[in-house]
Amino acid sequence: MSERLTTAFWSAAVLAVFLLGWQFLPGLSGVPDFVLPNLTKTVNEGLRIWSNERLLWHSGITALEVVAGFVLGALLGAVIGYALGFSPRVEAVLSPYLLALQIAPKVAFAPLFVMWLGYTVYPKILVAILIVFFPVLINVLSAMRTMDRDIINLARSFSATRWQIFTMVQYPTTLPALFSGLRIASTLAVIGVVVGELVGGNMGLGYLLVFFEGQGNTAGVFVVIGALTVIGIAAYYAVVLLENRVLHYLPSAVQRA
Amino acid sequence: MTAPTPAAIEFAAVAKRFAARGKAPEVLAVSNVSFAIAPGEVVSIIGPSGCGKSTLLNMGAGLDAPSAGSVRVAGETVTGPNTHVAFMLQKDLLMPWRSISENIEFGLELRGVPVTERRTTSARLLTQCHLEGFGASYPHQLSGGMRQRAALARTLAVDPLVLLMDEPFSALDAQTKMILQQDLAQTVAAQNKTMLFITHDLAEAAALSDRILVMSERPGTITEEIVVDLPARDNPMARRKNPALGEYVTRLMELLRLDAHSEVH
C-alpha cells in the first residue's frame, strides 16, 4: 500500500514539475506567446473558448462521430473477421487486397469521402470506420486461425453443430484478441474523425483546430488538443472497462481492474 | 486378439493414410489394426512416438474416418461423433470462461440436456471426482491435477459407454498421477466402463489394464498383446506394490527394444 502511495506521489510530482515548467519557462526564456503560450494564458483561452466558441458543443460532435465510427467499424471488422475465419478459401482469395487496403494510409481517404458526402458528419464517421476496421479484423482473424484444434474436436466429439462450435467455443476463445483489437481501434477512431474534420466542415474539434490555426491562436490549438486527448482517454477506458467486465474470468483482467 | 462378442469397441482391419500436403509426402499412419474390447474391459496401447496411437483414438471418437476397414462401437459402425464415446487428452481443454461446473456440463449442454438435470449431474460428479466446493471456481484457480479431475468429470458427465484416453496423466507429477490413476480405476470398475487408454508410461499401462497392446513404428500396427494377469485392477496402487508388475514392465521394455543403448528419436 505504501509503495502504491509513493508511486502516486512521484507521478503527481512529475505533473507538478511539468505544469510549473509550462507556466514559467516560456517567459524566462523569452519564447513568444504565438509559439508557446504559458499555462495561465492557455487556461484562460480555454475558458474563453468554452463560453464563446461552444467548445462543449464541438467536443460533443466529435465524440458522437468517434462513437459512431468506432461501433460501426468494430462491428464490421468483427463480422468480416469471423466470416473469413470460417472460410480459409475466401480468406486466401481476398488476403492480397486486404493487405493492400490495410497498408494504404486510411486518413488519405478523407478528402475523397468529403467530396462524396459533403461537409457533413458522415465523411468523418466513414474515415473512422475505415481506420477502426483493420485492427479488429486482423485480431479476430488471427485468433480464429490459431484456434486449438483439440478444443474444437472436443466439442465435435460431443456432437456439436457448426453454430454451437462457433458460439460456445470459437467466439469466446477469440474474445481476448477481439478486445485488444478494440483497444487499439478506440484510439485510432479519434485520429480518423479529426483528420476528417480537418479536411472540411464547420463543426467538431478538428474544425476548431483549423479555425484557430488560421487565427494564429496557439493557445486555442493547445486547448483543442487537450479536449481531443480527453475524448481519446474516455474512449480507451470505456473499452478497458467493458473488457474487464466481459473477461472477468482471466487472471490478468482481474489484476488490471 | 478377439474379445468375447459383442465388443464395446472394435477396430476391424483399420488403416489411415493422410494425403500429401505441400512438400510433406503421403503418410500411412496406421495399417491393418484389428482388435476388440469387451464391455467393462480396460485396454492400454503403448508404442513408440508417432506410431499412430492418437490417430486410432480420433477414429474411435468419430473425428477421423478410417481410410480402410471400419470401427464399430456397441455394434454400430462409427460414421461420426456419437454418444457412446467420450475422450480425454493430456491437455485438460477446460474453457477459461466457464466455471468448473459449467465445464463439466459442456457435453450435456451441447446435447441439449435441460439445465436442472445438468446441475444435478455436475454436482454428483464434483463429489465423485473430489472437487467439492470448486464448482463455481474458474479453471485458472485450480492446480494441474484438479484441472485434470475436472476434465475427467466432463468426460464422465455424458455417461459414455467407452472412454478414450490419450495420455491423460502424462503432464502431471508422479504422485498426483498415481492418485488420479487410483480414482480413475475405481470409477471405471464401479461403473463398469470400457476404456481404451493410450500411454507412454509402461508401469501405468500395467497398473491400469486388463490387456496391453503393443504397436510398431509407423505405419503402426499391433505387434503384441499382453494379458495382465494381476489381481485388483480397481486398485493400481496395490498393483504397483506387487513385485509381479515389474515383470510386465520388463517384458514391455523388451518388446519396445528399450535398453541402455536406446536413442532418443
pLDDT in tens, B96-119: 999 999 999 999 999 889 999 999
Place B3 in a pLDDT band, splitting at 50, 70 and 90.
very low
Q: What is the pLDDT of residues B113-136, one digit of tens each?
A: 999 999 999 999 999 898 999 999
Q: Residues B221, B215: contact at Cβ < 8 Å?
A: yes
Three-state SS at B59: helix
Query: Would an 8 Å CB–CB cutoff place B171 in contact with chain A?
Result: no
- pLDDT reported for residue A102: 85
Predicted local confidence at residue B49, as pLDDT: 77
Which of A154, A163, A164 is the best substitution to test chain B (most B C-beta atoms within 10 A)? A154
- pLDDT for the residue A254: 44
* CA–CA separation, B152 and A111 (whole Å): 60
pLDDT of residue B259: 66
**Better-scored residue on pLDDT, B3 or A207:** A207
Instruction: Round to whole Å and give the CA distance between B125 and A135.
Output: 43
Q: Give me the residue from B85, B93, B98 closest to A154, CB to CB.
A: B93
Looking at residue A253, its pLDDT comes to 47
What are the angstrom distances between the C-alpha of B206 and each of A51, A100, B151, B200, B246? Answer: 85, 59, 23, 11, 9
Angle, helices A2-28/A39-52, rounded to nearest 10 degrees: 90
CA Rg value for chain B: 19
On whether the CB atoms of residues B236 and B178 are closer than 8 A, the answer is yes
**Bridge partners, B10 (sequence order):** B36, B72
Q: What distance in Å separates residue A159's CA from the closest CA in chain B?
A: 6
What is the model's pLDDT at position B72? 92
Residue B240 binned pLDDT confidence (cut-offs 50, 70, 90): confident
How far is residue B121's CA from residue B123's CA, in Å, rounded to a whole number? Answer: 5
- The grid coordinates listed for A157 are 466429439
Identify the residue among A147, A150, A157 best suited for mutation to test binding to B, counting B beta carbons within 10 A and taking the highest: A157
What is the least distance, in Å, from the CA of A183 to any CA of chain B? 20
B95 touching A, CB under 8 A?
Answer: yes
Considering only alpha carbons, which residue of chain A is nearest residue B97? A249
Q: Check the CA dihedral B73-B79-B80-B83 and report its sign.
A: negative
pLDDT of A255 higher than 60: no
Average pLDDT of the residues in B146-175: 92
pLDDT at A127: 95
Inform me whether the pLDDT recorded for B216 exceeds 70.
Answer: yes
Q: What is the mean pLDDT of chain B?
A: 88
pLDDT score recorded for residue B261: 66
Q: Rounded to whole angstroms, how far apart are CA atoms B137 and B197? A: 29
Residue B149 grid cell: 479431475
- Chain A within 8 Å of B110 (Cβ-Cβ)? yes
Distance CA B126, CA B134 (A): 8
Residue A229, classed as helix, strand or coil, is: helix
**What pLDDT is recorded for position B52?**
83
Structure-model confidence comparison of residues A249 and A221, the more confident one: A221
For residue A131, pLDDT over 70 is answered with yes
In this predicted structure, what is the pLDDT of residue A180? 94
In the A/B pair of chains, how many CB contacts fall below 8 A?
56
pLDDT bucket at A252, cuts 50 / 70 / 90:
low
**Grid coordinates standing for B259?**
535398453
Which residues in chain B have Cβ-Cβ distances shorter than 8 Å to A179?
none
Q: How far out from the chain centre does Cα A91 lie?
A: 26
Rounded mean pLDDT, B220-231:
87
Residue B62 touches chain A, beta carbons under 8 Å: yes
ipTM: 0.87
Rg (alpha carbons) of chain A, rounded to whole number? 23
Counting residues of chain A whose pLDDT is more than 90, the rounded percentage is 75
Banded model confidence at residue A15, pLDDT cuts 50, 70, 90:
very high
- Is there a contact between B111 and A151 if contact means CB atoms under 8 Å apart? no
The rounded distance, in Å, linking the Cα atoms of A233 and A10 is 21
Residue A225 pLDDT: 95
**Rounded CA separation A230/A62 (Å):** 11
What distance in Å separates residue A149's CA from the closest CA in chain B? 10
Among A218, A17, A15, A174, which residue's Cα sits nearest to residue A86? A174
Q: Is the per-residue pLDDT at A126 higher than 90?
A: yes
Residue B77 burial (C-beta neighbours within 10 Å; 0-12, 13-18, 19+): exposed
Q: Compare B164 and B51 and report the one with higher pLDDT.
A: B164
Nearest CA-CA distance, residue A169 and chain B, Å: 8
Does B228 score more than 90 pLDDT?
Answer: no
**How high is the pLDDT of residue B147?**
94
Answer whether B97 touches A (CB < 8 Å): yes
pLDDT, tens only, B181-210 = 999 999 999 999 999 999 988 989 999 999
Interface of B with A in 128-157 (CB under 8 A): 138, 140
Nearest to A157 among B87, B95, B140 (CB): B87
Q: What is the arithmetic mean of pLDDT over A132-145?
A: 93
Query: What does the pLDDT read at residue B217?
Result: 82
- Out of B58, B95, B158, whose CB is closest to A172? B95
pLDDT for position A190: 95
pLDDT mean across residues, chain A? 91
Query: Scanning the structure block, which residue is given the C-alpha cell 491435477?
Result: B145
> In this predicted model, which residue has the larger pLDDT, A221 or B48?
A221
